[in-house]
Amino acid sequence: MADYIWLIPFFPLAGFLFNSAFGGRLSKSAVSWVACLAIFCSFIAAALVFAEFLRLPGAGRVFEMDLYPWITSGQFQVAIGFRLDALSVIMCLVVTGVGFLIHVYSVGYMHDDPGFKRFFLYLNLFVFMMLLLVTGNNLLVMFVGWEGVGLCSYLLIGFWYEKDSASDAGKKAFIVNRVGDFGFLIGIFLLFVSLGMKGVWTLNFAQIGQHAQLLDGPLVTIITLLFFVGAVGKSAQIPLYVWLPDAMEGPTPVSSLIHAATMVTAGVYMIARLNFLYRMAPDTLLVVATIGVLTAFFAASIGFAQNDIKKILAYSTISQLGFMFIAMGVGAYAAGIFHLMTHAFFKGLLFLGAGSVMHAMSGELDMRNMGGLREKTPVTYWTFLIACLAIAGIPGFSGFFSKDEILWKAFSASQGYLLIWGLAALTAGMTAFYMFRLLFGTFHGTCRASDEVKHHIHESPRVMTVPLVILAALSLVGGYVGVPHVLGGSNAIEQFLAPVFGQGAPAPAQPQTAFGFVSTAWASGGAAGHESSLEMLLMALSVAIALVGIFLAYLFYVKNPALPGRFTASFAGLHRWVENKYFVDELYERVFVRGVQRLGAFLLKVADGWIIEGAINGTADALQRLAGRLRRVETGYVQEYAFAIIVGAIVVVAYLVVIPMF
């Protein structure tokens, strides 16, 4: 079976190639069938592997194969190779599963779009790249997928290329990601070269894992930080999150698939994949956790003041990704992956729901022009509600289990910190607030849309609602694979992932490092013990926070709709900042975009123009001027020519006779 794992990414590629070759001649539905079928095949294949894994003992749950040697240059030898283990198979299932649903949904959603076929081409390509990313057995194949999904993201964000905002957003996404890739690439180089200097020339995950102990601490810290820079870019963390909200310019299924469920989690996956390195670099983990929690909080705060439903979801995604990074940062890799999975369900669902709303509202996105959709689009409403509950962390829904696991780990793990937990918990409440603000604003109250729009409001077709329902079901039950021990579950997912992450065991002793004193100081308050009572207490606390958030939202947007206005009026300054996303985009625009442009203009004018060209043209001009002057010596007067001869004679005589005499 191991020899056939390359088929998993191959199916979508085949779909892509088939459609690009023959798509032009096929009907729309045929194209969409091929596309969906390709993904479904992948899903089946992944599921088969998963089933196989369940039969195998923990240690044997690794399939690895090299397809063919890719780049070979001296000691640098990299193959196109694949690796399926517990981690990647889960990722595969999520990607293909959610991906399949979204494909199906898209058949309905994109039905009238002129770029229908192109859309499915991109989607298939994307799934291929994503699968490459998660199944690659070495860093370079992963990087291929990494860049590939970036490309697809670029293409899909700019899908409606005629809209300037869309193509701008695509470009922004790509470039910001490239900033991250810069770190990622350097990380790869540094890792390869440092290992190479110890005699191990490899980029293969397994081999790196084997030989990771050859590297010394500071080096690992630097390498992991560099990788994290890549993750920050791809997973839209501070300071590189700015592309994700803009990415909502893409068609909504894209937002759902790429910018919520799969691609943006690639950073999380990468850290999980390289957990053996991160484990060796506690300082990096601290940075990861800090960035994660700050992003979570920061994005959530922006989510408060947005009115565009997709933007809110985008910030929420950023925020949730922050949670995953908290998990990574505190060493709770399994919890992070768990949250990744549940997040894929409910956030995918939320976006699809938003898409359904747009479908109903003739493309309207501004929450202020919605309201009261509950009756007209019941399926959307109910599925949306389930997703909101899941994301808010209401017990029983999937988000509850995964998020609480993270919070608990943040509190309890040896790398966990009270401050991080506190901020994360607060953010969880905020999440509940703005998600319900969204829910209430969209589905409750009176409809604020124009009459014409109002007239058209209708529930989406079956092909769209069925995926919604399936995802809703997953959002409901998806959490039960990771029911913690304290609630009587077995935390199946953590166990399943154990071969990859070890038994969730934290790194033994914290080496003293530069950050050492800080982390000890932070850690002093946390991790008091593992008593289940404490865990229960914290769980209750977080549920309470979530409920408070929901209540506040209810208060503000259902009970007393005037309140928000008054509230914003009294905090006008703060609101302005939040509403404008703290002017970060403007800052970046001013510093980087215009900075580079100004530098470029300067260089073009001064360096190229004045200095280099100046020197060259100056020489040419000087020659021309000299030539003009020499030409004027040639006066045409014969006696002056004779004069020159005499002068020449004098010089020659002087040189040959007079000067040697002295």
Binding mask 254-273 for other proteins (x = CB under 8 A): --------------------
Sequence-separated contacts (24+) of 565-571 with Cβ below 8 Å: 568/305
Considering only residues 122-151, where is the footprint of other proteins by CB under 8 A? 140, 143-144, 146-148, 151
Q: Is the dihedral of CA 581, 587, 592, 598 positive or negative?
A: positive
Count of residues that interact with other proteins, criterion CB under 8 A: 90
Collect all residues with Cβ–Cβ distance below 8 Å to 231 and sequence separation of at least 6: 180, 184, 237, 266, 267, 268, 270, 271, 325
Please list every residue from 399 through 438 that binds other proteins, using CB under 8 A: none
Q: State which residue, 55 or 631, has the beta carbon closest to other proteins.
A: 631
Determine, following the binding rule CB under 8 A, whether residue 71 of this chain makes contact with other proteins. Answer: yes
Of positions 216, 531, 608, 621, contacts other proteins by CB under 8 A: 608
Q: How far is CA 216 from the centre of its chain?
A: 29
End-to-end Cα, the chain, rounded Å: 99
Q: Per rule CB under 8 A, is residue 658 in the interface with other proteins?
A: yes
Residue 43 or 122: the one with the smaller Cβ distance to other proteins is 122
Within 191-230, the residues that bind other proteins by CB under 8 A are 192-193, 196-197
User: Which amino acid, residue 225?
Assistant: L
Please say which residue, 188 or 352, places its beta carbon nearer to other proteins. 188
Can residue 25 be called a binding residue for other proteins (CB under 8 A)? no
Give the Cα separation of 360 and 357 in Å (integer). 5
Query: 268-290 in b/e burial notation, b at 16+ Cβ within 10 A?
Result: bbbbbbbbbbbbbbbbbbbbbbb
Q: Give the shortest CB-515-to-other proteins separation in angstroms.
A: 23
* Shortest distance, position 637 Cβ to other proteins, whole Å: 6
Judged by beta carbon, residue 572 or residue 651, the one nearer other proteins is 651
Q: Retrieve residue 543's tokens.
A: 């549920």
Tokens of 607: 């360096």
* 477 is a site residue for other proteins (CB under 8 A): no
* Among 57, 488, 533, 632, interactor with other proteins by CB under 8 A: 632
Q: Please select the residue that binds other proteins; options are 76, 554, 577, 588, rule is CB under 8 A.
A: 76
Contact pattern for other proteins over residues 151 through 170, marking x by CB under 8 A? x--x---x--xxxx-xxx-x
- List 171, 211, 454, 575, residue binding other proteins (CB under 8 A): 171
Contact yes or no for 338/402 (Cβ under 8 A): yes
Supply the minimum distance, in Å, between the C-beta of residue 224 and other proteins: 16
CA 350 to chain centre: 18
> What is the number of other CB atoms lying within 10 angstroms of the CB of residue 403?
33
Q: For other proteins, which residue of 70, 515, 554, 588 counts as binding (CB under 8 A)? A: 70
Nearer to other proteins, 574 or 615 (CB): 615
Give the contact letters, 350-369, x = binds to other proteins (CB under 8 A), - = no: --------------------
**Residues numbered 637-656 forming contacts with other proteins, rule: CB under 8 A:** 637-656
Number of H helices, E strands in the chain: 30, 2
Minimum CB separation from other proteins for residue 78, in Å? 9
23: phi then psi, degrees, rounded to nearest 5: -55, -35
Nearest distance from C-beta of residue 157 to other proteins, angstroms: 11
Instruction: Give the alpha-carbon dihedral of 186, 187, 192, 193, to 10 degrees.
Output: 60
Burial code (b: 16+ CB inside 10 Å, e: under 16) for 448-478 equals: bbeeebeeebebbeeebbbbbbbbbebbbeb
Q: Considering the rule CB under 8 A, would residue 175 count as an interface residue with other proteins?
A: yes
Interface of this chain with other proteins, residues 542 to 601, rule: CB under 8 A: 596-597, 599-601
- Smallest distance, other proteins to C-beta of residue 246, A: 14
Amino acid at 168: D
